[in-house]
Structure 1
Amino acid sequence: MMSADLFGYLIPSVFLLPLLAAALTLVVSRRPRIQNLITVITLFALLVISGLLLVLTDQHGMHTVQVGGWDAPVGITLVADRLSALMLCVSAVVLLSVIIYAVGQGVRDGDGDQPVSIFLPTYLALAAGLNGAFIAGDLFNLFVGFEILLAASYVLLTLGASQERVRAGVSYTVVSMVSSMVFLLGIGLTYSAAGTLNLAQLATRMADVPDGLRNTIFAVFLVAFGIKAAVFPLSTWLPDSYPTAPAPVTAVFAGLLTKVGVYAIIRFHTLVFAGGSMDNVLLVAGLLTMVVGILGAIAQSDIKRILSFTLVSHIGYMVYGIALSTESGLSAAIYYVGHHIIVQTTLFLVVGLIERQAGSSSLRRLGSLAVLSPVLAVTFLIPALNLGGIPPFSGFVGKLAVVQAGAEVGGPLNWILITGAMATSLLTLYVVVRVWSKAFWRPRADAPEGAMALAKPLALLPSDEYVEFDERDDVGKMPMSMLTPTLALVVVSLLMTVFAGPLLGVSDRAAESLMERGEYLYSVPTDDTPGRHVGNVTGVR
């Protein structure tokens, strides 16, 4: 009973706490130090709560909360299982690290004054939307979480209102609205076919829906979530949107926003539309996402755009693991999601440090960074090798797990995907080595535009494509408040390697419960539930 009561407070708090903190930071918007303190304390509390939820769900299984005391499917059902708790925990690590980095940077990635007072409330609203999506037990509240994300992300993406950011923000918003409209269409079709939006009820009622209609509904949701997850061919918006934002915003977007779409695909694929009817479509989409994304990265000369394309490419590994419809494949996908959130966020934060150190993120202007800052060189090298899948890093562990799961299933399509996954890994390594050799070891005077850069003092380097640095006096300086959270994420990525065994154990148990579905159906109290585990259901009034 104590455990149930504890869950009754912990699960809603991951959504309510950042939402209340966002309102509080708006009230004290003229006191930036108090704003910073409230934000950091809130996100640290979220990290503690999420870690506790992960431990409790792994030890005691899934728990649900009925908000307001109304039973499902009428009431709002909040769900915490191993998958959602893991996503909450990894997200909390990223959100806390990035906000410390952003405070150190002054939430500035260009010249001119930025509306800093609105950044922190919006960032906390973004955290609330993320967490709300992860714990939603019905389609409507999952949609609400996505829409909170959309509203907050648009504000963050256009922060500073430069021409490039507004253009990218409009493009991003249009694409996101299309995704939301498709999502609403899926919700309407689902309710008309099954008469409910509760995920647990849908898991049982969808079995009675005709196969053609069922597959159509699933395809509609896959389009909606595929846009958010940047699955090819629905990924063309991402490389043009993310690089224009401030470095902390780009980092949190790259690390987390696409993974919300991946999370939704996992949840729907295993719970609502179990049976593998769309697996071949997902396999082909995963292959194309890997290959097209990495080929796009090879063609870029700006590190932000390179990383944006590798972000798209590595979504393919997750889709591949999901599409295998096996416990080992799903476990590999879950582990890879956690690995990629940390590593991709770290690399985008490193790019912000590179801009601070050298005034640009373009390979045409960079060079000699290893000489200027050996610490920066190491900070880039470790996550870059991790992204490339060099053993023994977590990237290698995740890729190996995905490939092994595919080999267990076998078949011509899987062997093609395994070949594509290995080729993508090698090309990713090529891309990061190219950045390493040109930006860090090549003399800056040998860069195509390096001589022009060196014609000015270090503090007056020319602007690059996205960021105006020509009037700034902080180029060549990396504040410890920016470097420290970046190094902390590097350490977290290394810990994911050291503790790969226990983490894979958690992802194995999460995959097992997701594939069996029994725990979810048994724990959520609905009219269609054959029995209830009363100890795992808590009413919050």
Structure 2
Amino acid sequence: MSNLIILPVVFPFLIGAILVIFYKHTKLQRVLSGIGVLALIAISAYLAHIAFYEGTVTLAAGNWEAPYGIILVLDNLAALMLLITSILSAACLFFAYGTISKEREKFFFYPFYFFLLIGVNGSFLTGDIFNLFVFFEVMLLSSYVLIVNGSSKYQLRESFKYVIINVFASALFVVAIAWLYSVTGTLNMAHLSERIAEAGQTGTLTVIGIMLLIVFATKGALFPLYFWLPKSYFGPPAAIAALFGGLLTKVGIYAIIRTFTLIFYHEPEFTHKGVIVTIAGFTMLLGVLGAVSQFDFKRILSYHIISQVGYMVMGLGIFTPLAVAGAIFYIVHHMFVKTALFLLSGATQKVTGTTDIKQMGGMLKSHPLLAWFFFISAVSLAGIPPLSGFFSKFPIILSGFEEGQYVISAVALLVGLLTLFSMIKIFSYVFWGKNKLTEEQSKISVNKLLLPVAPLVALSVILGFGAEYVFQYSLVIAEQIMEPSNYIDAVLKE
């Protein structure tokens, strides 16, 4: 059974390698990639079932047991992230079929799409912090190719910033890993947790933890290291921007949650309730102010990525089971809704030829399904009941007030209000008011493009109405990861 854990890493590699061979055959690549992402959903769903009913499962590569060998670990949190990743990758891929030009397709779009998933899935599964670095680099190298795919002048200029900031973050990651190994003598996460618990989290270890926080904050677009994101995510096509916006920043957030619940959790008054909560507050506020100031569809959504990841780390910073469960619920909600919104911006651009909302108007009459899909996703992002945004934010903010974190809780409420304002601004400019479309634009149908978006919008509604069950699942995950002995016992088999 444990051998199945490797499938989310090996399967995308095999599909990507096959697609490289047939890079000149676009139709065949579409068929193979479509089958591949659907198979990944099935694999991930089965692994989530195993993790929930059979507990944490580990795989020691080459039969080298922990802490010496390469260990893959499947617990409920990793399984959940794998499942969401597979769903999002399928939605973005099928959307790409109708929006990616043939010029972009022939430059290895499909192979690198799957190579990206190797890095993402490996980051969720690895039980070794050095291999977390390795999988991060696989993910980033693939993202560099995808983000410049098409090679427009704007893409190349803004993607350069994305590459440079991630290169510096990766260099800092290596330094932090080397220092951590010199202090503890191990890089296995479970073994690290055990040794730091035995020795105590000294000042040196806390500094290493903050270094890792800086690395992951860069990749997760947290304050003050988010400046690269809005323009970088504006350049690529909607399908790629949606995949990046819904998925890549969450890998950084996942790494923060894993690291600061398993390894560096002994000084929560400083690391969690001090540093992480402060970063979360500034991230939320500055991100949403950036969104409010914009009049471009994709740029508003890009700034909202920044503001919304603040809620996720806020839940971790408060560091109670209720708050962490809320953060996990919020990650699930945000990944679905943000991906849907980026795809809907792409569908809108397909009709209007622009992302400048001032040049749009009246699309509710000509494209009502597109308009209402956007409206549902927008109010969910803003946290309006009974959709998923409300029920995922509520436990985080409630925990903030219960733990005396009044300032950041007030900021979270204000950010929700400003998020609603910016979403209504998009709706009023793009879908309401006087119709600014030409007769030809009004006749352009995007119903086929909305097919892969429909499940994401539906999931936001389902998560809202089924919030009690989703939150119970999130609470199970939160309680599991906040008790490190669960992970340590599974990996080190104590």
Q: TM-score range by the shorter chain?
A: over 0.9
Tell me the SS of whatever aligns to 2:58.
strand
Looking at structure 1, the residues matched to 32 and 185 of structure 2 have their Cα atoms a distance apart, in angstroms, of 43
SS of the counterpart of 2:392?
helix
Q: Quick one: distance in 1 between partners of 2:103 and 2:57?
A: 46
Partner of residue 100, structure 1: 94
Shift of 1:221: 0.2
1:334 aligns with 328
Distance in 1 (alpha carbons) for counterparts of 2:296 and 2:187:
44
Query: How far did 1:197 drift?
Result: 0.7
1:9-158 equivalence runs, <5 A: 9=4, 11-105=5-99, 107-108=100-101, 113-158=103-148
Indicate yes or no: 2:5 matched with 1:7: no
What is the Cα deviation at residue 40 of structure 1? 1.3
Aligned to 1:372: 366
Q: TM-score w.r.t. structure 1 length? A: 0.88
Counterpart residue number, 1:349:
343
Distance 2:201 2:477 in 1: 29
- Structure 1 letter corresponding to 2:158: A
Provide the rounded CA distance (Å) in 2 between the counterparts of 1:497 and 1:325.
Answer: 24
Superposed CA offset, 1:171-211 (max 9, x none)? 11001111111111110111011111100000011231662
Indicate the structure (1 or 2) with the bigger Cα radius of gyration: 1
Residues 1:398 and 2:388 are matched in the alignment: no
Q: Is the 8 A contact 1:365 1:444 kept in 2?
A: no
* Structure 2 Cα separation of the partners of residues 73 and 222 of structure 1: 23
Which sits farther off after the overlay, 340-349 or 436-445? 436-445
Counterpart for residue 469 of structure 2: 502
Task: Say whether the 8 Å CA contact 2:383–2:389 is kept in structure 1.
Answer: yes
When the two structures are aligned, how many residues end up with a matched partner? 490
Partner amino acid, structure 1, of 2:31? L
Is contact 1:176-1:228 (8 Å) kept?
Answer: yes
Q: 1 CA distance for matches of 2:174 and 2:242?
A: 28
Is 2:165 aligned against 1:175?
yes
The amino acid that maps onto 2:3 is G
Name which of 507, 512, 519 aligns with 2:479: 512
1:476 Cα offset (Å): 5.4
1:151-166 counterparts in 2 under 5 A?
151-166=141-156
Whole-Å separation in 2 of the counterparts to 1:443 and 1:185 = 57
The aligned residue for residue 204 of structure 1 is 194
How do 1:363-512 residues align onto structure 2 when only pairs under 5 Å count? Answer: 363-410=357-404, 414-444=405-435, 458=440, 477-512=444-479
- Show the counterpart of 2:174: 184
1:356·1:476 contact (CA, 8 Å) conserved in 2? Answer: no
Would the aligned equivalents of 2:24 and 2:106 in 1 still touch at CA under 8 Å?
A: no
* Contact 2:107–2:149 under 8 Å retained in 1: no
Cα contact 1:104–1:479 (8 A) shared by 2: no
1:117: how far off? 4.8
Q: Is the 8 A contact 1:287 1:316 kept in 2?
A: yes
Superposed CA offset, 1:505-525 (max 9, x none): 111111101111111110112
Aligned 1:290-369 pairs, distance under 5 A: 290-369=284-363
Residue aligning to 1:278: 271
Which residue is 2:259 aligned to?
268
User: CA offset at residue 169 of structure 1?
Assistant: 1.4
Alpha-carbon distance in 2 for matches of 1:23, 1:189: 36
Give the residue type in structure 1 aligned to 2:369. Answer: V
CA contact (8 A) 2:385 2:464 kept: no
Distance in 2 (CA, whole Å) between partners of 1:74 and 1:418 is 43
1:15-60 residue CA offsets vs partner (Å, 9 max, x unmatched):
0000111000111112222211211111111111111111221122
- C-alpha distance in structure 1 between counterparts of 2:103 and 2:188, whole Å: 46
Q: After TM superposition, give the deviation of residue 86 of structure 1 in Å.
A: 0.5
Q: 2 CA distance for matches of 1:167 and 1:331?
A: 39
Structure 1, unmatched stretches of 5+, are 1-5, 446-452, 460-474, 526-530, 533-541
The amino acid across from 2:479 in the alignment is E
Which of these residues, 242, 250, 265, is aligned with residue 259 of structure 1?
250
Q: Deviations over 1:58-117 (max 9, x none)?
A: 122111000111111221100000100000011111001110111122x13xxx832435
Contact 1:193/1:209, CA 8 A, preserved across alignment: no
Deviation per CA, 1:292-334, whole angstroms, max 9, x where unpaired?
Answer: 1111111101010001111100111001000011111111101
CA shift digits 1:239-283 (9 cap, x unpaired): 110011110000000000000000000000000111214121111
* Alpha-carbon distance in structure 2 between the residues aligned to 1:129 and 1:476: 41
Distance between the aligned counterparts of 1:157 and 1:478, measured in 2? 27
Amino acid paired to 2:377: P
Aligned counterpart, 1:449: none
* Cα offset, 1:407, TM superposition: 2.1
1:278 partner letter: T
Query: Is the CA contact 1:66–1:72 (under 8 Å) kept in the aligned structure 2?
Result: yes
* Cα separation, 1, equivalents of 2:103 and 2:350: 17
Q: TM-score, normalised by structure 2?
A: 0.97
Structure 2, unaligned runs of 5 or more: none
Distance 1:187 1:19 in 2: 26
| Aligned-partner Cα distance in 2 for 1:381–1:36 | 31
Q: How much has 1:444 moved relative to structure 2? A: 4.3
Contact 2:388–2:463 (CA<8 Å) still a contact in 1?
Answer: yes
Secondary structure of 2:127's aligned partner: coil
Higher relative contact order (CA 8 A, sep 6+): 1
Q: Hey, what's the Cα distance between the residues in 2 that align with 1:130 and 1:478?
A: 34
**Cα separation, 1, equivalents of 2:417 and 2:229:** 23
CA RMSD in angstroms comes to 1.5
Which structure carries more helix by proportion? 2
In 1, the alpha carbon distance for the partners of 2:60 and 2:249 equals 28
Match of 1:287 among 254, 257, 281: 281
Alpha-carbon offset, residue 442 of structure 1:
2.1
- Residue type matched to 2:473 in 1? V
Aligned equivalents of 2:2 and 2:22: distance in 1?
Answer: 31
Q: Conserved in 2, the CA contact under 8 Å of 1:97 and 1:486? A: yes
The answer as to whether partners of 2:45 and 2:83 remain within 8 angstroms in 1 is yes
- Provide the rounded CA distance (Å) in 2 between the counterparts of 1:270 and 1:493: 27
SS in 1 for 2:104: coil
